[in-house]
Amino acid sequence: MLLSSAMQQEITSQQVAINSDMTPARFYEPLSDYRVRCMLCFHKCIIPSGMPGICRVRINHEGRLYTVVYGRPAGLQTDPIEAEPMYHMIPGHRNLGVFTASCNFRCKQCHNWHITQRGPEEVRALRYTPEEVVAEAIRRRSRSISHTINEPTVFFEFMYDISVIAREEGLLNLFHSNGAIAPEPLRAILKHMDGVVIDLKAFCDDLYRDIFSGELAPVLETLKIIREEGVHLEIVNLIIPTINDCMDTIRAMCEWILKHLGPDVPLHFTRFHPNFRLTHLPPTPVETLEEAHRIAREVGINFVTLGNVPGHRYNSTFCPACEEKLVHRVGFSVLANNIEKGRCKFCGHKIPGIWE
């Protein structure tokens, strides 16, 4: 999900120091000499006392790990759920996005680099308790809360506590992630989640390291765990010209998805627009996205859509059985919804997702 331009200006025009109250972090182990090993994500940072981890928001103070973004969102942003993109969860409903500073990746194309590639001392922080976030979602008539825009793994404790309260209040929970969270915290948070969107940024470990400063294997493991746990999953693949637009690799990625996750996980191919450190590249040609769509359908993925191309036919969702248009979208707007009680209203085919 993109940070709105108004929010970008507001955040980057104010710089405040991080607050001094730090909240104890979960998922770490103490080491000798007051060092700790954070076990929250694939980096498994070993952090000396007085230092932060790679994500900059988890800090070792005298042998104990703390998070400095608990209760300190950089913003709360209301959008249609389609902006996530989460297409199989009550189309058209209003979602509250929660985000903080920083990230555990360093993606060269990041659209939200204003907050993700900055430390907490460089980004304006609000002050909200988990209860207040949920109250704000209800006040804004949101039916769900997503943890999104920056990597929610880095504010795990805040996300967790919000999700517990949100579910008690009858809201849906989801997060949008790069998927590099470690298995134990992932399984813990999935107990409180209704849906997850994972960016599968490429299907090649070298690209993961060079372009995104990540690793492919932990992301694939995350995808399998989400399916195992039975939480609704959608996958986003941003196609960047000359970087990850090899159709043979896209085919291999689709075959992996089919084999390990099944045919019913919605797959979104989204269009790249020049940004951050990749401004020298052109936007993704629409023909490239269409070719990826054709390959994914040929491989056997049932629900394939194109993003960042408003008005395109494949911005909408089609029934894999009768090929009628199930959800007619233009950008983030839903113009028609032909799913009734979780089934295609034309042929009765069951459509995976959360519809009521």
Which residues in this chain contact ligand SF4 in the complex, by CB under 6 A? 38, 40-41, 43-45, 53-55, 58, 104, 153-154
Nearer residue to ligand SF4 within complex by CB, 128 or 155: 155
Shortest distance (Å) from residue 178 CB to ligand SF4: 11
Say how many CA atoms lie within 13 Å of 331 toward its Cβ: 3
Shortest distance (Å) from residue 353 CB to ligand SF4: 30
| Cα–Cα distance measured from residue 225 to residue 27, given in angstroms and rounded to the nearest whole number | 18
Nearer residue to ligand SF4 within complex by CB, 44 or 93: 44
Residue 350 per-residue DSSP state: B
Residue type, 113: W
Shortest distance (Å) from residue 218 CB to ligand SF4: 11
Please list, in sequence order, all residues whose beta carbon lies within 8 angstroms of the beta carbon of residue 300, skipping any fewer than 6 positions away: 254, 258, 263
Shortest distance (Å) from residue 180 CB to ligand SF4: 8
Residue 42 tokens, joined: 């694939």
Name the residue number minimizing CB distance to ligand SF4.
53
Nearer residue to ligand SF4 within complex by CB, 41 or 174: 41
Q: Is residue 276 left, alpha or beta, with left meaning phi > 0 and alpha meaning psi from -120 to 50?
A: left
Shortest distance (Å) from residue 145 CB to ligand SF4: 21
Which of 264, 185, 195 has its CA nearest to residue 230? Answer: 195
Nearer residue to ligand SF4 within complex by CB, 34 or 256: 34
Which of 31, 15, 117, 115 has its CA nearest to residue 74? Answer: 115
Nearer residue to ligand SF4 within complex by CB, 3 or 54: 54
Nearer residue to ligand SF4 within complex by CB, 119 or 352: 119
| Cα–Cα distance measured from residue 274 to residue 254, given in angstroms and rounded to the nearest whole number | 25
Shortest distance (Å) from residue 68 CB to ligand SF4: 11
